[in-house]
Amino acid sequence: MRAALLGVLVIVAAGQRAAPQDVAQLAALRHQLRQAMERVPTEAQRRALRERLGELQRRLLLDPAWSEGKVVHTVAAGESLARIARRYGVTIELLQMCNSGAVRRLSVGQTLQVPTGTVEIVISKSANTLTVRRNGEFFCEYPVATGANNSTPEGEFTITDRVERPTWWRPEDHRPIPFGHPEHELGTHWLAWSRKGYGIHGTNRPETIGTQGSRGCVRMRNEDVAEVYALAPVGTRVIVTP
């Protein structure tokens, strides 16, 4: 057990200290972390590895030198970014991020890197975590707040709408609270579920993250929900577990 813990500490510390730039180094460290996750004996150690692994995998996804899980799309006449995103089942935001934002004006013959595969979100109410899976495998994990008094519904849902800078309709009086208002509770992004009234959103109360303290939806830090918003297109499956 001591050897396993030492291995975890060495891998995590080395990754934080070295901050490798080359994708080959990143890929090698990712392989080490995946192997270590299967060997460590405690959940706390696995959590530390998942955090580091998620950071690496997000970095690789956005690195133009990394081609795994991506295709190269050549822009044809009449194509828009939205049309390309729909064709591949990704978000416009992810296309922009994977191509250094250099897609504001498309030109015929321009090439774009497009991530492929499926995205799935798994929310654990007991752990207050949101896990993103890509192509059935762990991609990254975030702390969240789930509903007080077990109010977050369990089961399988899909994302039906995505809104940036959303309006919040206050449940008590159904009054619309615009984004930016001091009483606004949805944060910067809203991902609606097929279960009406529920979804994933940011928050103006980051101190509640990691608790069962929401009204029933899944709260995230605003910087975290922005990443999930970019990863999860409409139609993404959401699984909520006890």
User: Residue 91: which CATH number?
Assistant: 3.10.350.10
My answer on whether 166 and 147 are in the same domain is yes
Please state the rounded mean pLDDT for residues 229-233: 98
- 193-229 residue pLDDT tens: 999 999 999 999 999 999 999 999 999 999 999 999 9
Q: Which of 21, 41, 62 is the last residue of a domain?
A: 62
Please state the rounded mean pLDDT for residues 121-147: 97
User: Residue 193: which CATH number?
Assistant: 2.40.440.10
Per-residue burial over 200-229, b = 16 or more CB atoms within 10 Å of its CB, e = otherwise: bbbbbebebbeebbbebbbbbbbebbbbbb
| Amino acid 230: pLDDT | 98
**Percentage of the chain exceeding pLDDT 70:** 90
User: 3-state DSSP call for residue 28?
Assistant: helix
For the chain, what is the domain count? 3
My answer on whether 196 and 165 are in the same domain is yes
Q: Which domain holds residue 89?
A: 70-115
- What separation, in Å, do the N-terminal and C-terminal C-alpha atoms of the chain show? 30
- Residue 78 neighbours by CB distance under 10 Å: 8
pTM: 0.90
Q: Using pLDDT thresholds of 50, 70 and 90, give the confidence band for residue 88.
A: very high
Q: Using pLDDT thresholds of 50, 70 and 90, give the confidence band for residue 1.
A: very low
Name the more confident of 164 and 11.
164
My answer on whether 36 and 82 are in the same domain is no
Rounded distance, CA 18 to CA 181, Å? 42
My answer on whether 134 and 236 are in the same domain is yes
My answer on whether 46 and 92 are in the same domain is no
My answer on whether 140 and 37 are in the same domain is no
Rounded distance, CA 128 to CA 189, Å? 19
Q: Answer whether residue 5 shows pLDDT above 50.
A: no
| Amino acid 100: pLDDT | 83
Please state the rounded mean pLDDT for residues 55-62: 94
| Amino acid 20: pLDDT | 55
My answer on whether 135 and 214 are in the same domain is yes
Q: Answer whether residue 18 shows pLDDT above 50.
A: no
My answer on whether 147 and 235 are in the same domain is yes
Rounded distance, CA 201 to CA 203, Å? 7
| Amino acid 19: pLDDT | 53
CB contact at 8 A, 142 and 238: no
My answer on whether 130 and 92 are in the same domain is no
CB contact at 8 A, 242 and 154: yes
Q: Which residues contact 60 (CB under 8 A, 6 or more apart)?
A: 23, 26, 27, 30, 66, 68
My answer on whether 234 and 169 are in the same domain is yes
Q: Answer whether residue 108 shows pLDDT above 90.
A: yes
My answer on whether 141 and 214 are in the same domain is yes
My answer on whether 29 and 137 are in the same domain is no
Q: Answer whether residue 187 shows pLDDT above 90.
A: yes
Name the more confident of 232 and 104.
232
Which active-site residues does the annotation give? 201, 217
